[in-house]
Structure 1
Amino acid sequence: MGFDLVLYGATGFTGTLAAKYVNSEYGSSLKWAIAGRTQSKLEKMKADLNLDCDILVADSGDKRSLLKMVKQTKVIATTAGPFARCGTLLVEACVESGVDYCDITGETNWVREMIAKYDDKARETGSRVVCHCGHDSVPWDLSAYMLAKKLKEENGEQVAKFDFYDDIKSAPSGGTLETALGIMFGSESKQKFPASKALGYDALLKTSSGKKSESALKAKNIGYTVALGSRGMPHRSFFFMAGVNANACKRSNAINNYGPNVKYVEGTSFTSIFAAILYVLGYIFYGIGIYTPPLRAIMRAFFLPKPGEGPSEEYMDSGYLHLTGVAKGSEGTVVKSTMSFNVDPGYKDTARMVVESALALALEGKKVTSGGGVFTPGACQKEVLLERLLRTGTTYKFH
């Protein structure tokens, strides 16, 4: 294989950030390429950013071009979404070729379909397909894995409950909003996902042996209310991606067996009850605008970022995520951790997360989960990814 890493969807907002990150952190020490469907855009990007890489051209709708691309690399890292529209053939090409794959999707139903369609074949070819390798849902998935590991190693207990408190500053890009609106109102909302339905049970529960796991995880995330803090913990309210994060942990639990009946609770944290109430009111008014067609049209035309647009560099540098995780064991033991990302987690650090997720497979593949399948980071790269993130800007500690 010629390349250690190929970045697919490189000319998009997050893809560009990923290319900048690879170039600044690894440069000529890594054999890598940027890829997408338009040669001229890729050439302009390479020149503008002075990238030390090659260029590959492949269209997400052309399987032949995708096969040609993936056969030249150890791993594909893709930021090209919506993944239900742009990702399926790329997963198929990687699985058929025995090539590793990482993405930044938050589209849980599409992930279910990828498990149902390709998990068995991936185990045959050795392809490790790892979804949720960005802000959705590396911080929560790795924190849950580490908390469960500590409970088991130090106390011999399984997990009864995860609680997550999200202190975050981030803003959506046009691509993220396009994906979300497509799932809610567009063509993606009408997709049937036949393979996952034919499986007969939730595909997230499919184990590495191809059977249904008995280790369940049920989300009880905070809704459009304020849950008062207790025992020195902050108040919590709604977090938009909590359901996605819970499903990522559900997939990891099915493979790692944190516990037979785990409860998962997540919300945005606030030290002030008044700030939490204002936050809820803001989300309610935003929701009214999104769900009312005339208002949604006005918001998309004049206020919301367009695909390819995103937060400014200055805003991203001021962003952060401080994630507090609390796990309660089956015998009542409590363990607590904090994971911090000190720039915008949704884009600038998502670029870092997906690159490091991919390099964990390309450069340290013998240390991570052996054998193929459709995974989450907490079920595949695990501590190897956490160590790579710690070396490049993340902090993590137990309390």
Structure 2
Amino acid sequence: TIVPDLPSTISKCRNPSQRFASKWCGPFFMAPINMAVSGRSVALSQGTNQTVRYREALVAENMMDAFVAWWGTILFGTAAINPVLLPILKQFLPSPGEGPSQSVLNDSFLCISGYGIGENGNEVESVFYFPHDGGYKSTARMLVESSICLATDEDRHENAVGGFYSPASIMCDALLDRLVSTGSSFACSVCKSK
């Protein structure tokens, strides 16, 4: 069972990690989808009797940045589904085939931080770093490495039988190894052990 704990408004981060103590959090539009995938991964790897509390948020340095990101997402989403506003929005969006320049793709990065508290009170923290733009270049690399992983690492998922699997449940460390060997960094450490 996965228990949602998603923020519905902008607030000070309530993550116990000191790394986020002075930051501001707001809703992230992909959180409900990521939560469903994470719940499926937990169910496949640990069974359905495991309860996991899931929290995902967009983290900002200050309240103004969090406010702009939150309202920007709401306004963009509203304009994208509104037949009156969509033609106006399209004037400002890149045409198919256009997008960020190669230098923007190379100079951007994505850093994902994770924090977990176990049922016994142990605390772990992880960081996954992608050295290029997360929306295009790193996503394309993840898709390619996932495809290669599925095609060549049969011994790692030979016991899987039928059904729909999440990337974490079917590729496990094989995908992580491939991403790290092609430029990403991953670190996980115990913050507090009881």
Shorter-chain TM range is: 0.7 to 0.9
Structure 1 residue identity aligned to 2:132: V
Match of 2:113? 324
Match of 2:39? 250
Question: Take 2:26 and 2:108, find their aligned partners in 1: how far apart are those partners?
Answer: 19
Question: Take 1:240 and 1:288, find their aligned partners in 2: how far apart are those partners?
Answer: 13
Inter-CA distance 319–372: structure 2 relative to 1 (3 Å threshold): farther
User: Is 1:356 matched with 2:145?
Assistant: yes
TM-score normalised by structure 1 residue count: 0.43
- 1:339 alignment partner, one of 112, 128, 132: 128
Listed as ranges, the matches of 1:299-310 within 5 Å are 299-300=89-90, 302-310=91-99
Match of 1:283? 73
Question: Take 1:284 and 1:367, find their aligned partners in 2: how far apart are those partners?
Answer: 41
Structure 2 residue identity aligned to 1:261: T
Gaps in structure 1 of 5+ consecutive residues: 1-215
Give 1 or 2 for the bigger CA radius of gyration: 1
Instruction: Provide the aligned length of Structure 1 versus Structure 2.
Output: 182
Contact 1:337 1:398 in 2 (8 A): yes
Gaps in structure 2 of 5+ consecutive residues: 190-194
Aligned residues: CA RMSD: 2.0
Match of 2:192? none
Inter-CA distance 381–353: structure 2 relative to 1 (3 Å threshold): same
> Secondary structure of 1:380's match?
helix
Question: Take 1:343 and 1:219, find their aligned partners in 2: how far apart are those partners?
Answer: 30
CA drift at 1:370: 2.4
Question: Take 2:96 and 2:179, find their aligned partners in 1: how far apart are those partners?
Answer: 28
Per-residue CA shift, 1:78-135, capped at 9, x if unaligned? Answer: xxxxxxxxxxxxxxxxxxxxxxxxxxxxxxxxxxxxxxxxxxxxxxxxxxxxxxxxxx
Contact 1:368 1:384 in 2 (8 A): no
Structure having the higher helix fraction is 1
Question: Take 1:370 and 1:308, find their aligned partners in 2: how far apart are those partners?
Answer: 41
CA drift at 1:293: 2.0
Question: Take 2:103 and 2:81, find their aligned partners in 1: how far apart are those partners?
Answer: 31
Question: Take 2:188 and 2:170, find their aligned partners in 1: how far apart are those partners?
Answer: 22
Structure with the larger RCO, 1 or 2 (CA within 8 Å, 6+ apart): 1
Listed as ranges, the matches of 1:227-242 within 5 Å are 227-230=11-14, 231=16, 232=18, 233=20, 234-242=23-31
Structure 2 residue identity aligned to 1:220: D
Q: Identity of paired residues, percent?
A: 31
Listed as ranges, the matches of 1:1-399 within 5 Å are 216-223=1-8, 225-230=9-14, 231=16, 232=18, 233=20, 234-257=23-46, 260-300=50-90, 302-373=91-162, 374-399=164-189
TM-score normalised by structure 2 residue count: 0.84
Inter-CA distance 341–369: structure 2 relative to 1 (3 Å threshold): farther
Question: Take 1:390 and 1:288, find their aligned partners in 2: how far apart are those partners?
Answer: 38
